[in-house]
Homo-oligomer: A and B are copies of this chain.
Amino acid sequence: MQIQSENRCFGGRQLVLEHPSMATGTPMRLAVFLPPAAQAGRVPVLYWLSGLTCTEENFTVKAGAQRLAAELGLMIVAPDTSPRGDGVPDDRDGAYDFGLGAGFYVDATESPWSTHYRMRSYVEDELPALIADGFPADPDRSAISGHSMGGHGALTMGLRNPGRYRSVSAFAPIVSPLNCPWGEKALGGYLGPDRGRWREYDACALIEDGARVPELLIDQGSADDFLDGQLKPALLETACEQAGIPLTLRMQPGYDHSYFFIASFIDDHLRWHGERLHA
């Protein structure tokens, strides 16, 4: 892991790092916030997965999470949203919703994507091992959250790995890629036309197929332009209700899909994760 930048922040350290990834076969960048408590011992870790077009930077500079993370003693790990660099293919039209910046947290099976687009393996397996190895992280106290495409990533990783994350939350997540244009484009492209193979990357389908988490916290803005066409939280409500998963879905009146929405409610999520991670 090479340090690209380091800034003192709320008494802790905000790092941007780069390392060669086995999973993606490319250099990968990530942001790590180390709270002051990390100087004295191992601390719990919150993984944050970002949305379409984002890098490791967006959450780090826009969410305002470090203040309370420092207070609560939480490490925050925010990876990039796709492999990048020479030889990494992009959407043929350069669209924002496929290819670079849009890895969708899957292991692609279709050519030419399958060589580098392996964000599932990267975030699920390689990254936690690197963090446990290189930082004072307590791997037994991990949580995961994310926004939009990253909310989809957080939900599906939480559901596929029971016990791995003590708590799972999301902001304006894509709850069912099987049932929205972003998901159909991404999963169709990365995984091919067999929709049965998409189910392990669809939070609602995972729940229907038996996956469980203890509970979920989701915030969703009512003025989000993508609410009805892409995000469809009612699908997750139904799936959770049928499966008996306690879901706290908070519709936030007037809020949109931006980081101003995330910043407004990130403290609630940090406290919620903190209670579970410090329990």
Contacts and interface: CB of A to CB of B under 8 A. Distances in A.
Nearest to A222: B8
Interface in A20-75: 61-62, 64, 66-67
Contacts of A10: 263-264
Interface stretch (A78-86, A129-137, A252-260): A252-260
B64 A264 contact: no
B8 A223 contact: yes
A263 B64 contact: yes
A258 B221 CA distance: 30
Nearest to A61: B62
Contacts of A191: none
Contact of A263 (B9, B255, B256, B261): B9
A111 interface: no
Nearest to A254: B8
Given A61-B61, A67-B263, A67-B264, 8 more contacts: A7-B261, A8-B254, A9-B261, A9-B264, A61-B259, A64-B64, A66-B263, A67-B267
